[in-house]
Amino acid sequence: MVPSTGIGFIALTNGSPLGIPETLGAQFFDLVEVGSIQQDWYSIFNPFFLEELKPEGSLVGVPPPVNPTPPRPLNEYTGAYANAYHGPALVSLENGTLVLTIGPAPVRRPLTYWGGDAFTFTLHNENATPGTISKATFAGNRLTLEYYDREHLGTFVRTP
């Protein structure tokens, strides 16, 4: 908003954070106040958003262990799990691979063995940038999904 012009501008988006709405606002006010775009606004704004576009996960860029502790028999990890915030999750065994199914529009992700009771899965969606890796850690009757655990709400409990 520029009070002296009596004009305001708002850009709403559900796109990735790249600096595009900020660029449009700056260009708009350049046009209103001066009559032409004065700077390469995208080049100015975009670097501030690059951190948001980095892949997430504590294992991003970490090489897998060379000699990991072997997992328990895979069928010991299978079952239905519940979480009051994220809802149900299912871990199934399909063709020798654990598969995680989660969400109301089910997302199915194969679990890749990492070491001990830890597995990984990849995500790429509107919130997970390419290269995101989540750790899935089993402990007793609990499954913690790192990607869903930002606010400490990512632990699922096995249901009977």
- Cα-to-chain-centroid distance, residue 50: 15
Per the CB < 8 A criterion, the answer to whether 41 and 13 are in contact is no
Domains detected in the chain: 1-53 (no CATH), 74-158 (2.40.128.600)
Region 5-29: mean pLDDT is 89
What are the pLDDT digits (tens) for 107-140? 999 999 999 999 999 988 777 888 899 999 999 9
What are the pLDDT digits (tens) for 27-70? 999 999 999 999 999 999 989 888 778 899 999 999 999 999 99
What is the pTM assigned to this prediction? 0.74
Residue 129: predicted pLDDT: 82
Region 139-146: mean pLDDT is 97
